Structure 1
Amino acid sequence: MSLLKFCRLTLYGTIRAFGKRRRTTDMSKAATDFAATPTYERQPNVLRKKLASVVPGSVNVQVLGAGANGTPCAVYLFTDQSRYLFNCGEGTQRLAHEHKTRLSRLERIFVTRNTWTAVGGLPGLALTIQDAGVRSVGLHGPPHLDTMLQSMRRFVVLKTMELDTIDGTLFDYFEDSILSVKSVPLHSKLEEGKVVLSYICKLKPRAGALILEKCVERGVQPGPLLGQLKNGQDITLPSGEVVRSVDVTEPGETALSFVFIDVPSEEYFSALQEQAAHFKELSATEVTEVALVVHFSPPDMTARADYQNFMDSNFSQCTQHIYLNSPLNHFSGYAAAHRIQYQLHQLAPHIFPLLAEANELQLSNGLKKTRLEESPEAADAKEKPTKAPSQGVVPMTSFHLRPKKGLDRMLEIKLTPDEYVSETHALPGFSDLLTQLKSEQNRIDSSSSSTYPRIIFLGTGSSIPNKTRNVSGILLQTAADAFVILDCGEGTYGQIVRLYGRKQAFHVMRHLQAVYISHLHADHHIGLISLLLERENLKPKAPLLLIAPRQIEPWLQFYNNKIEHIKSAYTLVGNGELMEQPLSDERLVAMGIQSIATCLVRHCPHAFGVSLTLQSQHEGAPVKLTYSGDTMPCADLIDLGRNSTVLIHEATMEDDLQEEARVKAHSTVSQAIQQGRDMQAKHIILTHFSQRYAKCPRLPSPEAMHDVAIAFDNMQVTVPDLQNYHKLYPALLAMYAEYTEELEQRAAKRELKQERKRKLAPT
């Protein structure tokens, strides 16, 4: 064996042993340090700081929201140790929860606009990741982001986390150990001061592999110097000789770039053309490659010939284009909502209708590996300008930048209805109970399509959305062409679109007459801006009647004055103004409502309950509907809702969590039912369940539930439906038997724990 070969093998073995030992030691120490850190001190960037000098081996761009059916456009960039989010529209955190995307590890958020389209998800996301222990997140975007957050301070209370806002027009460059991000401002040509941002991102290239023979020739001894050379650092030997990393390593990888472009309307397009030099220089040298362009621009812009010509002129044919907001992006990505709806649909199709999105859904067969906007027919016509994208994307469409694998559709979310239904029939006893239920239903006239009010639940969960229960939102159809919304948490408008379909959702929004907001906790009103913007776009004859705490006014005025015009979309009436004198005027006549009255409830300052008395139909008695908002048991609410036809009451906690409910000023299931009994309500509907009860809450005895219904998202009921709702429970509980058994086990463990505490407590 030659001396050189012997030295090479010895050196190679030493390098491997050293590298393995060092990695094991470093990782073990990092894991030990992290485990020893108190939960409240764990931050998503702790591990990153320990690995700051390590170039990530994996970098992926993942579509979180594609803009389909009321969902936001949001893109998640993740590496081995860092996470970045580009745009954070309303509903982003729910999509992240659905697809197990850990937003608690976010370090930077880059937004292209300061409008609700791009930032509507920030309030909810900020509150959620604050609860997860995150201490700070960098927020890059256009001007006014800081003042917008300041204007939200009444309902977005950040006590332990800081959103560090960076104006991208003043500080246009961000860099860390993984990538650099340059913001490209596009100024409006019609209105001074209006600006949107596009972003140019460049990955730090990985150094090439060590050439061991050259290390031996230069006299580099085994040890940490080899690691420095491998990481691209020059070293000095004991003899004083300088060894350059570039001389003993293979050529590094080509530096990859990727771009986010947002041109909201024609008034910004000339600004994009003026900034063309920023994009051209990316491909000017052989050491840089533009791998991907993500378009946040709306479809009426991306379909324009001059927009497409700009892309062809500034990016190569090898660049992949992903178009968000495309009309070809058919699926919202909320598979769990469809799953539970298909399952509940078996019990009562008229109460649990299938989401219209499922009927409209026509997913593409697959994307080309080159350009998304190119159809197969145009594959041989490279010289022709591309038009609109011919194929769409859905949540979990990914693009692998490192390793450079390109587009990946393997993890894309798809619907499998047959699987959802077959799951339930595999459960013990469910099929027999379903058959029995159907037999009973055949003897009951369940046709109530012309009966009003119709109560449609858009969100039945509390605090934060999860994949099966969105936050508070109830749609009342009070007449054939009249709709009222009670509370509108984040994602309410999207729920309407997915339930009704785009065409019918347009009808609902055009005939939406009023919005009632019970109190100013974020999960009850963050969806309001989307509703107002949609109404503004429809240009209705009369503004929306907005009944809300007067304390919401500064926030709405700020948004109207600094961001987008919404003032003409609503007329504000304070909840407190209806306490002494119920509202009863010509505005309510078209809604089929006689009067609206309110009372203060026991939750937070300026929290209200409401009672609506609807005009009688078919010479019947008026229907009185009472909604609690969030509250502990409340005597004033009982007085307000006396002799209600329907009480909709929050039931956040199960019965053995009464103390927790008291501390958080909420009600348990049995407390909510008792409220209905005390006011002599004919029917009670429970909603606003803690997200620990994502499928079904713990319920009291069947006897206690005879006139009580539990609400699910996308459930719609009339008063006749409620008379027979209790007949659904045997099949419903069989469907969720495993889940409810788990709840019972948790309750038993809590009871044992409390019993031990009582025994150990001093007498």
Structure 2
Amino acid sequence: MNWSASVLTTLSSDTEPTIILTFDSAKYIFNAGENTNRAFLQSRGNWKRTRGLFFTDVGMKRSSGLPGLLMSFADATISKLNIVGPPGLLHYMASMRLYTFRDSLLINPIESSWTPSSVPSPEPLYKDANITVYGIPILPIPEPAQNPSTFLTDTSSTDTTAEAGMKRKRDPSPDLPEKRQSLMTDEPESAPEASLDPAKFSPETLEGDAAQEWRRLMIKTMFPGSNMKKPDPPQQSQKKQKGKNRSRENKANDKAAANNAKTEEASKSATSAFVQVQETVDITPAETVTNVDTWRRARPPFGFHSQLPKFIPHAPLSHRGQPATPTLAYIIVGPRVRGKFDVKAAEALGVPPGPLRGRLTRGQTVTLKVKVDGEMIERVVRPEDVVGESEAPGTVVILDIPTTAHISALISSFGESPFYKRFRSEDPEDLKEYAVRSVFHICGKGVLEDERYVAFMNGFIPSVHHVVASRDYLPDPVTFTSAAFNQLRLNQLDPEIFPIPKYSLSPKKILNNIPGIPASTHLMSSSQLIPMRPPAPPLNETFAKSGDMFHPAVSSDAPTPLPSLTRERFADAQKNVEDFSKSGKVHVPKGADVKIIPLGTGSAIPTKYRNVSSTLIQIPEWGNILLDAGEGTWGQLVRQFGLDDEAGSPNVWDVLRDLKCIFVSHIHGDHQMGLAQILSKRRMVEPPPSQPLFLVSIRSVHLYIRELSDMQDLGLNDPSGNGVIPIMSESLHWRKTGAYQTGGMWQVGGDEPWLDFQLSQDNAQEMYRVLGLESFSTVDVYHRTRCYGAVIRHKDGWSIVFSGDTQPTSTLVWAGQKATLLIHEATMADDQAEMATQKAHSTFGQAIAIGKRMTAEHILLTHFSARYPKMPPSGVAKPNQIEEDAQKRLKEPIIALAFDHANLEIGKMWKMNYYLAAVEQSFRDTVEEDDVEEDGEPVLGMDVDVE
């Protein structure tokens, strides 16, 4: 059985390390940071046959790409998935419940413990026919090192499972029950806190095992597996096939329904009431929508929308000014390959072909009668008599060592355990049992230079390949080279509007300069492949180089060559811009120097060329506003501004320090899955921000962030007062109602103290002062879930209106009258109006019509469907129409298309009309094989909500 380990993504400005083990029948993914989903698209790899996801940590670095991957997996017909991780995994997954749902997917979450096993032969966290996975908790220890046992307090009740439906034996612990069944089994659960009064039930009050069971119930609700997709059975008539499929589906649904019934019955006393999906809700005068998210059949349990039980993580150690939290190391043992059957030896012993030889190959001893010297005798044949010695299973070790404070625990884990010692042993008997072939090292600052760590690396046998990821020793090439190459070409059209992404091909430090580093140490790089069987040194897969046009082009001293037609289009556009600039007809609006930087202009899912929704507004002398924050927003910011001080000013830390407001329009994942990463990075800014960051959004977004903050500091309770300050979108409603709506779709829901209406109003007044705003109003728009647009008016006289996701709606027109700029979603082309209505989105023409009704001066179209991989068919004015439009300045707005990383000052947005034909031609030149428009809109589940 041949298999391999590979690197999907490495440490870079927009990715974290993701490692994949690949067998013919299955794949196993280790860590999934932001942009993992998009990286699969760029690499031309796929996630088919994924059987398990494993996490070394459940903080933002290692697991923030999980929700997007889960929805992609479900839509790729993966029906069952094991997810393994350290304590906090269940809490993290349950926190996604308000925007993640797939009824075709069954999830088995396996949460480890921070308490190391003391038994001689620890049981694996996970095991199947391909791999056996052991988890080793690595806890930071203050330096100088103290007794590790004093830092092993496990504050959360956990369980571990070997496979779906299987329980793992554990060491006795006062915090861990000896036996507990999983919600994934067919057996009923004990009710969480059965004595609670259902009328007063609050999940937040649950503790220990009851809290864990509640989190499992939430995951079961998100991924019930009630609509699993079955492959068609081969070699059957169509009629029989249909009948059998119906039968299977009925059985699966009956079984799922029975399981759900058992689960509900088990927790009946605590969850006896169910919330109803709202059938009809008012959203604007004379505008109604029926059955919000109508496809969702399941009714979430009572308490689903309440705050999760408080998760108390392992207390972080302060290490050199930064929190140091535990990580989980993995040892992955591949399959043992049996030795070759010796036919000649079998014949000599008289073993005939057939079942007896089969039993011997399976390791069974056989007894048979043979004739020797004319007499029949009974002979015992053992497997080793006819089968060669089995091949030791290949083994991979994955280590996540974020600080030097983790090194002592790592060394002791491998040095003191008789079992784990064997993986670094040169004893012939140990080498027959396990063949460690590759060790992946994910190292934080200072770890690789530490003498103890180098000595630890040298403790493995010399043939082991060490693959190292460390920011100081890795270059920082662009990950999404297809988009970067397009940007590089457009940079020749206008270097100010289309800047080249920030990157570096040279590391800060040279790996070989580390004294004593093993000779077989390799830098981790994307698309790196390490054959495990048959074993071979790491190599880079050829398609990665052949598909990368950006780095060879940008490394050349000469400009990127352009086809003759593109050069002509560029030259024509540049001349027209120059001529119009000199004509004196250029309208200079108020707020002309306000910069709009689209960071993500795609809809629902990322693509090679467009990230999902996010737009940065930079107000000179005042600060920055971020409109939505889809997954990967942080990486887009870093590529836009640069990560290091030497990259110049402002770099990304300056931008983050000046970020004063984030507005999240709604809970759908493509609009908010990058928010937590932005907040976590803001905590790293040095010197820290001197003013707060105001988060304007609905309750579900605030609730999600608060639940995540149990696991990682996101700045919600900064004693300096310059952390994250909540403002409820409903408190800023454009009609200025003075109170929250108490019923229907637009009610706030919940009674948490931070929901207080007057508190939000007071916080908003401070936000106005900090940003120089006259007002910031929210507008109820027409989408598949509760969604708000925004109207931002500055005291300097300009205004920006942001639509969020919406069908055309009059409320935005009324609230945003005479806007300087309207940023409006334009998901579909005009010939897809019916589909746009079904999905509660707008077409290009509809978005432009809203802007004209609003009498907006400028319209920026964004949020394009993935069916338009590069250039959406907008119908925006071409150059020969622009002169005429300029004469009608008071009647016709300037209309532009948004592109990721475009720098668009409001006063120069008119240039985009002149550039449109040139941009279209440039994109036409770089069509790749897989850039094919889809017949149907991709459905990757970002439009999901159960509010």
SS at match of 1:286: helix
Deviates more, 1:170-179 or 1:291-300: 170-179
Are 1:588 and 2:757 an aligned pair? Answer: no
Q: 1:201 to 1:221 in 2, by over 3 A?
A: same
Q: Does the C-alpha gap of structure 1 residues 263 and 149 become closer, same or farther in structure 2, counting only changes over 3 Å?
A: same
SS in 2 for 1:406: coil
Whichever residue aligns with residue 412 of structure 2, its letter is: E
Per-residue deviation, residues 485-524 of structure 1 (Å, max 9, x unmatched): 1000001011111121113111111111111100010110
Tell me what 1:489 maps to. Answer: 630
Cα deviation for residue 711 of structure 1 reads 1.1
Please give the secondary structure, in 1, of the residue aligned with 2:443: coil
Partners of 2:45 and 2:927 lie apart in 1 by 27
- Within 5 Å, give how 1:66-145 maps onto structure 2: 66-145=10-89
- Bigger mean CA deviation after superposition, 124-133 or 588-597: 588-597
The answer on whether the counterparts of 2:478 and 2:484 sit within 8 Å (CA) in structure 1 is: no
- What residue is the counterpart of 1:336 in the other structure? 482
Does the 8 Å contact 2:404/2:446 carry over to 1?
A: no
* More off after superposition, 559-568 vs 107-116: 559-568
SS at match of 1:613: strand
Tell me what 1:317 maps to. 462
Aligned amino acid, residue 438 of structure 1: Q
- Mind listing any 5+ residue stretches in structure 1 that lack a counterpart? 1-55, 365-371, 379-383, 617-621, 751-763
Distance across 1 between alignment mates of 2:773 and 2:549: 40
Which residue is equivalent to 2:436?
Answer: 290
Q: Do the aligned partners of 1:457 and 1:473 also contact (CA within 8 Å) in 2?
A: yes
Q: Does 1:734 align with 2:921?
A: yes
2:274 maps to none
Check if 1:458 corresponds to 2:603.
Answer: no
CA–CA distance in structure 2, aligned partners of residues 744 and 251 of structure 1? 50
Say if 2:484 and 2:550, in contact at 8 Å, map to a contact too.
no
Secondary structure of the residue that 2:656 maps to in structure 1?
Answer: helix
Q: Which residue of 1 aligns with 2:705?
A: 556
- State the identity as a percent: 27
For 1:348 and 1:557, the matched residues in 2 are separated by: 42
- Give the match's secondary structure for 2:330: strand
- Which residue does 1:434 correspond to in 2? 570
* Aligned pairs (5 A) from 1:596-615: 596-615=776-795
State yes or no: 1:523 paired with 2:670.
Answer: yes
Cα distance in structure 2, aligned partners of 1:678 and 1:201:
61
Q: CA deviation at 1:158?
A: 3.0
Deviation at residue 323 of structure 1 after TM alignment: 1.7
Cα deviation, 1:129-161, whole Å, max 9, x if unaligned, reads 112222221011112211221222011123221
Q: Secondary structure at the match of 2:40?
A: helix
C-alpha distance 305-719 of structure 1, shift in aligned 2 (>3 A) = same
- Say whether the 8 Å CA contact 2:629–2:672 is kept in structure 1: yes
**Residue deviations 1:64-96 (CA, integer Å, cap 9, x gap):** 121211312211111121100111112211112
- The amino acid of 2:917's aligned partner reads P
Residue 534 of structure 1 corresponds to which residue in structure 2?
681
State the match for 2:182 in structure 1: none
Which residue of 1 is the match for residue 194 of structure 2?
A: none
SS in 2 for 1:691: coil
Which 10-residue stretch deviates more, 452-461 or 336-345? 336-345
Matching of residue 678 in structure 1 with residue 816 in structure 2: no
Hey, what's the Cα distance between the residues in 1 that align with 2:51 and 2:26? 7
Question: What code does the residue aligned with 1:700 have?
Answer: G
Check conservation: 2:553, 2:560, Cα contact below 8 A. Answer: no
Separation (CA, whole Å) in 2 of partners of 1:237 and 1:728: 85
What displacement does 1:701 show?
Answer: 6.2
CA pair 118-236 structure 1, distance change in 2 beyond 3 A? farther
RCO greater where, 1 or 2, for CA within 8 Å and sep 6 or more?
Answer: 2
2:336 is aligned, of 205, 214, 220, to 205
TM-score (norm 1): 0.81
TM-score, length basis structure 2: 0.66
Distance across 2 between alignment mates of 1:352 and 1:209: 61
Partner residue in 2 for 1:696? 871
> Which residue of 2 is the match for residue 361 of structure 1?
505
State how far apart, in whole Å, the 2-side matches of 1:728 and 1:600 are: 34
- Offset, 1:397: 1.5
Contact 1:478-1:592 at 8 Å conserved across structures:
no
DSSP 3-state at the match of 2:709: helix
Contact (CA 8 Å) 1:697, 1:740: kept in 2 or not?
no
Distance in 2 (CA, whole Å) between partners of 1:699 and 1:740 is 19
Residues 548-597 of structure 1 deviation map (CA, whole Å, 9 limit, x = unaligned): 11222322222222444531330010111111449863433443433211
Aligned to 2:525: 394
1:172–1:473: structure 2 CA closer, same or farther, 3 Å change rule? same
Aligned-residue offset at 1:351: 1.1
3-state SS of 1:300 partner:
coil
One-letter code of the match for 1:258? V
Matched, 1:514 2:661: yes
Across the aligned residues of Structure 1 and Structure 2, the Cα RMSD in angstroms comes to 3.4
**1:66 and 1:325 in contact (8 A); partners too:** no
AA paired with 1:260?
Answer: I
CA distance in 2: counterparts of 1:439 and 1:179, whole angstroms: 63
Of stretches 300-309 and 153-162 in structure 1, the one that deviates more from structure 2 is 300-309
**Are the structure 2 counterparts of residues 207 and 655 from structure 1 closer, same or farther at C-alpha, using a change threshold of 3 Å?**
same
**Distance in 2 (alpha carbons) for counterparts of 1:97 and 1:236:** 56
Tell me whether 1:655 sits opposite 2:830 in the alignment: yes
Contact 2:727 / 2:764 at 8 angstroms: preserved in 1?
no
**Other structure's SS at 2:401 match:** coil
Change (3 A) 1:427 1:490: same
C-alpha distance in 1 between matches for 2:470 and 2:633: 19
* Counterpart residue identity of residue 576, structure 2: E
Q: Which residue of 2 aligns with 1:631?
A: 806
Change (3 A) 1:475 1:700: same
Deviation of the 1:700 alpha carbon: 2.4
CA deviation after TM superposition for structure 1 residue 528, in Å: 0.8
Structure-2 residue corresponding to 1:272: 410
Q: Distance in 2 between matches of 1:742 and 1:67?
A: 28
Q: Flag the 1:155–1:262 CA change in 2: closer, same or farther, 3 A.
A: same
| Equivalent position amino acid for 2:397 in 1 | V
Q: Which residue of 2 aligns with 1:174?
A: 126
Higher helix proportion (structure 1 or 2): 1
Q: 1:185 aligns with which of 122, 134, 137?
A: 137
Q: 1:543 to 1:243 in 2, by over 3 A?
A: farther
1:708 aligns with 2:895: yes
C-alpha spacing 1:416/1:89, structure 2 compared with 1 (3 Å): closer
Secondary structure at the aligned position of 1:686 is classed as: strand
Q: How many positions carry a matched residue from both structures?
A: 671
Shift of 1:350: 1.3
Paired with 2:684 and 2:507, the residues of 1 have a C-alpha distance of 28
Deviates more, 1:270-279 or 1:135-144: 270-279
Provide Cα deviations, 1:264-304, integer angstroms capped at 9, x if missing partner: 33443332233123543113323133211111231333332
Name the structure 1 match of 2:447: 301
In structure 2, what is the Cα distance between the partners aligned to 1:742 and 1:140? 36
Q: Does structure 1 conserve the Cα–Cα contact (< 8 Å) formed by 2:800 and 2:820?
A: yes
Equivalent position SS for 1:253: coil
1:343 counterpart letter in structure 2:
R
Q: Shift of the alpha carbon at 1:668?
A: 1.1
Q: Is the 8 A contact 1:321 1:373 kept in 2?
A: no
Change (3 A) 1:675 1:237: farther
From 256, 277, 281, give the equivalent of 2:394.
Answer: 256
Task: Indicate the residue corresponding to 1:669 in structure 2.
Answer: 844
Q: What residue is the counterpart of 2:345 in the other structure?
A: 214
Question: Per the alignment, in what secondary structure is the counterpart of residue 612 of structure 1?
Answer: strand
- Alpha-carbon deviation of 1:646? 1.1
Amino acid at match of 1:694: P
Q: Which amino acid aligns with 1:639?
A: W
- Residue 152 of structure 1: which of 96, 114, 117 is its match? 96
AA aligned opposite 2:472: P
Are the counterparts in 2 of residues 332 and 394 from structure 1 also a CA contact under 8 Å?
Answer: no
Counterpart AA for 1:253: E
SS of structure 1 residue aligned to 2:340: coil
User: Do residues 473 (structure 1) and 614 (structure 2) align?
Assistant: yes
